[in-house]
Chains A and B, each alone.
Chain A
Amino acid sequence: MLNKDVSKWKLNKKAIFYISVLILLLIELFPIILVFLTSFKSQIDIFNANPFSAFMPTLDNYKEVLIDRTFLNNLKHSMIIALVTTTISVVFGVMASYSFARFNFKGDQKIGLAILASRMIPPITLSVPLFLLMRKVALLDTYFGLILAHVSFIMPYVIWMTLPFFQGIPKAYEEAALIDGCSRFGAFYKIFVPLVAPGLVVSATFSFLFSWNDFLYALILAGSELKTAPIVVSGFIGQFGPKWGSMTAAGSLILIPIFIFALILQKYIISGLAVGGID
C-alpha cells in the first residue's frame, strides 16, 4: 500500500517536471514560433490578435519577399560579407593566437591585453570614427568597408576564443616536426592546424554568425546602396505602415541558417559561449 503511494508520487513528480519543462519551452520559443507562423499568414489573419486562431496558410509573404530579386541579393551581400570576414578573421586571428600561445616575446602581454580588451568596446564607439574615416577614403557602402568593420570585432573574438584552447595543446608534436627540419610555419600549418581543426570550425561558425547578425555597422557604414539582409528586414517596418508578413517571412529566411548551425554544433557551442561570450 505504502509502496504504491510512493511510486505514484514519484510518477507525479516526474509528470510535474516534464510539464514545467514543456511550459518553459513553450514560453521561451513562443516568439520564434510566432515569427514562423506569422510568415504563413495573410494580412487579415496577422491582425487577428489571437496568434493561435485557425488560419489558411499562404505563401504570399514569401512570394512578395522573393518575387523581385532584391531580397535574394541582400542575402547574397550578407553571405559574401560574412564569408570573407570569417576567412580573414580566422586565418590571421589563429596565427596571432598561435603566436601568443607559443612564444614569449617583447610586448606580448601588452599587445594581447589590448586586443582582448578591445572586445569590450561597444561597437557604437567604433562606429563614429569608422564612419568618418571610411567617408574620407570612399569605403562607405562598399563590401570592403563593411568587411573591415566586421573584422575589427570578429578577429579579436577569434583570438580570444582560441587562445586558452591553443595553450592547452601540447607542444611536443610541433617540436618533433621542428627537429625533423620542418620550418616554424610548416610546423604550424602542417602539424598544429590539423590538431586544432575542430576548434577552428567552432570559431569560424561564430565569426559567421556575428557578421551575419550585425546591424549597427551595416546601418551606419552602408545601407543606401549596399544593404545587408538585417537592414532590409527592419526596413519592412518603415514609413508605410508595418508589413509584418514580409518582415516575418524575411526574418524566417535569415534565421534558418543560424538555427541549423546552432543545432548541429550544439556540443561545441556551449564551450565556445563559455569562453568568448556572444556579441
Chain B
Amino acid sequence: MIKKLKNTIEGSLIKWGFLEKKDDIIPYAFLAPALIILGGILFFPLVYSFVLSFFNWNMTQSGGAEFVFLDNFIKLFGNGAFWHSVRLQVLFVAISVFLELLIGLGVAMLLNHNFAGEHVVRALLLLPVFILPVVSGLTFRFMYDPQYGAINWLIGLFGFNPVPFLSKSTFAFVAIIIQDVWRMWPFMFMILYASLSSLPESPYEAAAISGATKWQVFRHVTLPMLKPSIVIAVILRIVNALKAFSEIYVMTNGGPGDATSIMSIFIYKNAFDFYEMGYSAAASYVLVAIALAFSIYLVKTQFEF
C-alpha cells in the first residue's frame, strides 16, 4: 500500500521536475511531518507577524488593520519608552551573563579536582537551572519583602535597614539581575566544568616544568583552552536571557514605573494590555533581530549539514 503510494507520488514529482531520480523523496518523507507542523505554527505565524508590523491595528477599536508601512517602526524609534526597554534589556543581559560567567568559572576552577561527594555537589548545584522561572521569580519576590523577606532579614543581621528591593527603581533592576544570576550561573558552571575536566594534561606539565605561577597557568594555559566552551556557553546564555519574561512578569511586572520593563515586558504590555498588535509586532521584530545576530554565529559554528 505505502509502497504503491510512494511510487505514485515519486513518479509524478519526477515527471514535474521536482526530483531527479527514484528514492530522492526519502529524506523529504522523513522531514515532512516536522516541516508541516513547524510551517503551520512557527514559520507562518512569524511571517504573519512580520507583515502585521506594517499595519496599524488596535484590537479594542473597530475597523481592523490599516496598512501604514514603516510607521510602526518610526513611532517605535521615536519612543523614549522603547529605547528605555532596549537599554534595560542590553544591561540586563550583559550584567547577568557577565556575573554568571565569573561565578561559573570561579566555582568550576574551585571544584576541578576529585573530592568525596563531587557528584552530589554538582547535582545539587544544578537544581536551580531546572526550577520554573515563575516559581523562582515568586520566591525572590517573597525573599525581597521589606517586612518578612529572608534577604532583608539577612541584611538586618548585619545591622542595615531593610532595602525596599522591588519598590525602588535601581534596587528593582538589581533584584531581577540577582534572581537571574542565582538561577543561571550553575548552567555556566556546568559547561565550563565539563570542559575543564576534559582538558589535556600535557600543557600543564609543560607549564609546571617552566615554573609558572598558578595565575600564569590559569591565564596562559587554562583560559585559552577553555575559550571555545566559554564562547558557546556565553552565547547560549545571551540568547536565553533575551527570552526572559515570566520571572520578571511575576516579580515586578516591569515596575516600579518602567524600571524593569525589558523588551519582552514592553512588547507584552503593548500587545495584551493596550492591544496595539501591529506596533508590538514591530517591537518584537527588533528583539528578533538582536537574537538572530547572535544565533547565526552559534548555528554556523556548531552545526554542519
Q: Is B140's CB under 8 angstroms from A31's CB? A: yes
Q: Is B152's CB under 8 angstroms from A49's CB? A: yes
Cβ distance A265 to chain B, nearest Cβ, rounded Å: 10
Q: Please name the residue on chain B nearest to A251 by beta carbon.
A: B135
A70 beta carbon closer than 8 Å to chain B: no
Looking at B70-78, B207-215, B217-225, B235-243, the stretch in contact with chain A turns out to be B235-243
Q: Is B27's CB under 8 angstroms from A105's CB? A: yes
Q: Please name the residue on chain A nearest to B290 by beta carbon.
A: A122
In A88-112, which residues have CB < 8 Å from any B CB? 88, 91-93, 95-96, 98-100, 102-105, 108-109, 111-112
In A19-72, which residues have CB < 8 Å from any B CB? 20-21, 24-25, 28-32, 34-35, 38, 46-51
Q: Is A29's CB under 8 angstroms from B127's CB? A: yes
Q: Is A31's CB under 8 angstroms from B303's CB? A: no
How distant is the Cα of A48 from the Cα of B150 in the complex, in angstroms? 9
B143 beta carbon closer than 8 Å to chain A: yes
Q: Is B288's CB under 8 angstroms from A125's CB? A: yes
Q: Which of the residues A102, A255, A266 comes within 8 Å of B131, measured between beta carbons?
A: A255
How many pairs of A and B residues are in contact by the CB < 8 Å rule?
A: 280
B45 beta carbon closer than 8 Å to chain A: yes
A204 beta carbon closer than 8 Å to chain B: no
A234 beta carbon closer than 8 Å to chain B: yes
Q: Is A112's CB under 8 angstroms from B139's CB? A: no
Cβ distance B157 to chain A, nearest Cβ, rounded Å: 9
Q: A31-B139, A99-B31, A274-B191 are in contact. Are A215 and B246 (CB under 8 A)?
A: yes
Q: Is B41's CB under 8 angstroms from A125's CB? A: no
B132 beta carbon closer than 8 Å to chain A: yes
Q: Is B127's CB under 8 angstroms from A278's CB? A: no
Q: Is A155's CB under 8 angstroms from B37's CB? A: yes
A116-131 Cβ-contact flags toward B at 8 Å (1 or 0): 1111111111111111
Q: Is B138's CB under 8 angstroms from A251's CB? A: yes
A173 beta carbon closer than 8 Å to chain B: no
Q: Is B190's CB under 8 angstroms from A216's CB? A: no
Q: Which of the residues B153, B190, B285, B305 comes within 8 Å of A273, measured between beta carbons?
A: B190
Q: Is B250's CB under 8 angstroms from A237's CB? A: yes
In B41-65, which residues have CB < 8 Å from any A CB? 41-46, 48-49, 52
B98 beta carbon closer than 8 Å to chain A: no
Q: Is B133's CB under 8 angstroms from A120's CB? A: no
Q: Is B107's CB under 8 angstroms from A262's CB? A: no
Chain A residues whose CB sits within 8 angstroms of the CB of B249 once the complex forms? 215, 219
Q: A88-B37, A124-B287, A156-B42 are in contact. Are A278 and B281 (CB under 8 A)?
A: no
A143-156 Cβ-contact flags toward B at 8 Å (1 or 0): 00000110111011
Chain A residues whose CB sits within 8 angstroms of the CB of B292 once the complex forms? 117, 120-121
B163 beta carbon closer than 8 Å to chain A: no
B95 beta carbon closer than 8 Å to chain A: no
Q: Is A21's CB under 8 angstroms from B30's CB? A: no
A263 beta carbon closer than 8 Å to chain B: yes
B120-146 Cβ-contact flags toward A at 8 Å (1 or 0): 011111111111111110111111000
B271 beta carbon closer than 8 Å to chain A: yes
- 23 interchain pairs (CB within 8 A)? A28-B182, A35-B139, A46-B148, A98-B30, A103-B30, A105-B24, A112-B303, A112-B305, A115-B38, A116-B295, A116-B303, A117-B296, A121-B46, A129-B49, A133-B44, A148-B41, A155-B37, A164-B303, A213-B132, A247-B142, A258-B130, A258-B132, A278-B187
Which residue numbers of A lie inside 8 Å of B, CB to CB?
17-18, 20-21, 24-25, 28-32, 34-35, 38, 46-51, 88, 91-93, 95-96, 98-100, 102-105, 108-109, 111-133, 148-149, 151-153, 155-156, 159, 163-164, 167, 184-185, 188, 209, 212-213, 215-216, 219-220, 230, 233-234, 237, 242, 244, 247-248, 251, 254-255, 258-259, 261-263, 266, 269-271, 273-274, 277-279
